[in-house]
Amino acid sequence: MITLIFWYLLSAVILIAPFYKLLPAAGYSKYLAFGALILPAGAVILLWLLAYGDKLKGAKA
């Protein structure tokens, strides 16, 4: 049980850290990175947000 919790926390840190740095650079709150805790759906949603976020904000390509 302890090892399962350890691996979950380790994978959460590995996923959250890059999003925590990337989201503010893209103009989003860095606290959205904690959405990656809902594995893997949260990480996929954040990747879509980073990829297509400018179109959601109304920016012209």
Looking at the domain assignment, is residue 61 inside a domain? no
Looking at the domain assignment, is residue 46 inside a domain? yes
Q: How buried is 33 (Cβ within 10 angstroms: 0-12 exposed, 13-18 middle, 19+ buried)?
A: buried
Q: How many domains does the chain have?
A: 1
Looking at the domain assignment, is residue 13 inside a domain? yes
pTM of the full predicted structure? 0.69
The arithmetic mean of pLDDT across residues 10-35, rounded, is 88
Domain limits at 42?
A: 2-56
Higher pLDDT, 38 or 22: 22
Looking at the domain assignment, is residue 29 inside a domain? yes
Are the beta carbons of 22 and 50 closer than 8 angstroms? yes
Higher pLDDT, 21 or 59: 21
pLDDT of residue 6: 92
The arithmetic mean of pLDDT across residues 32-60, rounded, is 80
